[in-house]
Structure 1
Amino acid sequence: MAQAIKTGSVGTVVVAGAANLAIAVAKLIAGLISGSAAMLSEAAHSVADTTTEVLLYQALRRGARPADTRHPFGYGKESYVWAFFAAMFTFVAGAGFAVTHGVTTILVHEHSGDYLISYIVLGVSFVIESISLTRAVRQVRRESRRWQTTPQRFLRLTADTAVKAVFLEDSAALIGLVLAGLGVGLSQATGDEVWDGVASILIGLLLLTVAGILAANNLSLLVGRAVPARLGRAIEQELAGLPDVERIDTLLTMQLGPDDILVAAKIDFRDEATGAAIEASADEAERRLTARFPEIRYVFLDPTRSLPGALGQARNTQARPSPDAGGEPDPS
């Protein structure tokens, strides 16, 4: 089934990318004129964010390609590959430069003393980043209402890595601007450039944290993450309510892409059910699930014989989170 690029996510990525590009140029000029390590680190931060948005746009575009004979389940997982590359670029380029330059500044203590341009660029950057973050927040709230959950839970569990990345990066950008402002201000007030270097290092650590969160999330999705617990329970309930179903023996799910979910289940039907009745139940299962959850693209049901001593409940189902899953609810 062909997928269209998600308009809301694309808009959020494009706005964030344009904002970061303009801010990166301004910060770089300010950093070169003032010699501030924190400003140059913030310039590297914005360059990393701009590159991240380009990679996220590539993720949305490539992941939306329709299925073909070589990739029958589509290209949804490719979006996680590009999003992982984006996280790694932030980790290496942004965080690496910020920490290294901060350490160098602490050791060398070099600064031109021209602080005014740094304050101006930081203030303008804060306004622009706030506008970009506002758009991301609106999309998060809109999506969380659609899933009937809180924005915090949606961000933690969503498979839409683009909007998650933009939200985290814009939030980190605002925190980074505050850190840079404090570093520049303390350096000017005390005459000691160590504060500028410390601010640069803190900005680098902030980028490391964001990159680590996004990288881990994308790796989990690339390996093949199940849908979260609450959605798994809802799928199980829909299947259990089908005509002629005695028991769900196994329920397995996988997130194939930001808007692609696969559902596979072994189901024990009543012994009296005819082949035609089982086929009708399978068709009804797909109709119910896709109507309630449009993200479900594939539904595979395997009629199976009940195990001895079965009591009518699923034996092996992802609706019950494993200890490694941490029992997290899902955004549905």
Structure 2
Amino acid sequence: MSANGGTKAIVAALLANVGIAVTKFIAFLLSGSSSMLAEAVHSVADSGNQGLLLLGGKRAKRAATPEHPFGYGRERYIYAFIVSIVLFSIGGLFALYEAWHKFHDPHGITEWQWLPVAVLLAAIMMESFSFRTAIKESNHIRGNQSWVRFIRRAKAPELPVVLLEDFGALVGLVFALFGVAMTLITGDGEWDAAGTAMIGILLVVIAVVLAVETKSLLLGEGAEASDLAAIERAVTDGPEVERIIHMKTLYLGPEELMVAAKIAVPEWESAHDLARGINVVEARIRAAVPIARVIYLEPDVYSAAAAEAGTGAAADTAVGQDASGETAQRSGG
């Protein structure tokens, strides 16, 4: 659901930004407003970003290979991180440069004076439609989370990226409208420069937020607390497992979770019975958390003494140590 919703929101944002970019460039060429130029470049950067997100989603669907045995799901995070770099460099830094240039050479808007206002109002309407689509699609998976928590904790990067981009675009349009309107009222081009600077600062802040959140996904995040609790219940909710010795989870992609655990099991009469019990536990995990698609369970025998020592090892740890020590001695000899 998140992937389909993300694609729909991306396409809506792409169509809106392409149309907006064209009208903003026309308004800039006719009026000479620096705010319009900054907003036009911002829309071009956003359009490129949506193209990157669509490309990342497509490449992430490739099948696993021997070189990449866990597939390409995390490629969506890479492209989302590239989006933050593009937004920072092309959108934010260009707007700040244009503001600096306009402050040093301020001039009013003398031709087609009200065209920028008309274009900005039309752009606000189109961006509002795109933002509404992103909000609607996000609500399908957001649940009761606040918007801040949703953006920080979402594992599928597309919707948070589009949400922040659309929000930044709407606020940026308001800044541009303020700068242009004040320039028209006062005849002072410094207001236009101020609006451009506000747009640049806004884009830099949004880009930094995106970079920080996407970096966390690239480094690797574990399951949410609710999913982690559900997995733990699924593992221990049966006679096949006595307890979890230790467990780790990792998102291989937005819709694929890996679960690796060492579990304490009772004594089984045969290896066949042990394997059957592990299969039952794996089925319970997938039923509880469907995105847990890659599961590795290592059966072991729990040792309270080892647990108190902080090793989390099983009762036969000493045997393993003896064997490794003996091997090392033979190698030394």
Scaled by the length of structure 1, the TM-score of the pair is 0.87
Once residues 290 and 179 of structure 1 are traced to their aligned partners in structure 2, the CA distance between those partners, rounded to angstroms, is: 49
Q: After the TM superposition, which of the residue ranges 302-311 and 279-288 deviates more from structure 2?
A: 302-311
Equivalent runs, 1:171-320 vs 2, <5 Å? 171-271=167-267, 275-309=271-305
- Whichever of the two has the greater Rg, that structure is 2
One-letter amino acid of the structure 2 residue matched with residue 125 of structure 1: A
Once residues 27 and 122 of structure 2 are traced to their aligned partners in structure 1, the CA distance between those partners, rounded to angstroms, is: 12
Contact conserved, 1:34 with 1:111, CA < 8 A, in 2? no
Superposition deviation, residue 306 in structure 1 = 1.8
Contact conserved, 1:268 with 1:304, CA < 8 A, in 2? yes
Once residues 80 and 38 of structure 2 are traced to their aligned partners in structure 1, the CA distance between those partners, rounded to angstroms, is: 22
1:23 aligns with 2:20: yes
Once residues 195 and 282 of structure 1 are traced to their aligned partners in structure 2, the CA distance between those partners, rounded to angstroms, is: 68
Aligned length: 310
Question: In structure 2, what is the equivalent of residue 170 of structure 1?
Answer: 166
The unaligned stretches of length 5 or more in structure 1 are: 317-332
Q: CA deviation digits over 1:37-61, x for unaligned, max 9?
A: 1111111110110000000000100
Contact conserved, 2:5 with 2:138, CA < 8 A, in 1? no
| SS of 1:245 mapped into structure 2 | coil
Superposition deviation, residue 247 in structure 1 = 1.6
Q: What's the C-alpha RMSD, in Å, of the aligned pairs?
A: 2.3
| SS of 1:6 mapped into structure 2 | helix
Question: In structure 2, what is the equivalent of residue 323 of structure 1?
Answer: none
The unaligned stretches of length 5 or more in structure 2 are: 313-333
Contact conserved, 2:241 with 2:264, CA < 8 A, in 1? yes
Q: CA deviation digits over 1:171-195, x for unaligned, max 9?
A: 1111111111111112222222222
How high is the sequence identity, in percent, across the aligned residues?
Answer: 34
Q: For the structure 1 residues 235 and 11, does the alpha-carbon distance in structure 2 shift closer, same or farther, using more than 3 Å as the test?
A: same
Once residues 278 and 149 of structure 1 are traced to their aligned partners in structure 2, the CA distance between those partners, rounded to angstroms, is: 41
Q: After the TM superposition, which of the residue ranges 206-215 and 125-134 deviates more from structure 2?
A: 206-215
Question: In structure 2, what is the equivalent of residue 106 of structure 1?
Answer: 103
Superposition deviation, residue 275 in structure 1 = 3.5
Contact conserved, 2:96 with 2:201, CA < 8 A, in 1? yes
Equivalent runs, 1:28-39 vs 2, <5 Å? 28-39=25-36
Question: In structure 1, what is the equivalent of residue 324 of structure 2?
Answer: none
Q: For the structure 1 residues 136 and 273, does the alpha-carbon distance in structure 2 shift closer, same or farther, using more than 3 Å as the test?
A: farther
Scaled by the length of structure 2, the TM-score of the pair is 0.86
Kindly indicate which of the two structures has a greater share of residues assigned to helix: 2
Question: In structure 1, what is the equivalent of residue 119 of structure 2?
Answer: 121
Aligned to 1:135, which of 133, 136, 156?
133
Aligned to 2:65, which of 63, 68, 76?
68
1:82 aligns with 2:72: no
Q: For the structure 1 residues 277 and 115, does the alpha-carbon distance in structure 2 shift closer, same or farther, using more than 3 Å as the test?
A: farther
Contact conserved, 2:13 with 2:130, CA < 8 A, in 1? yes
Superposition deviation, residue 28 in structure 1 = 1.2
Q: CA deviation digits over 1:61-80, x for unaligned, max 9?
A: 00111212222111011111
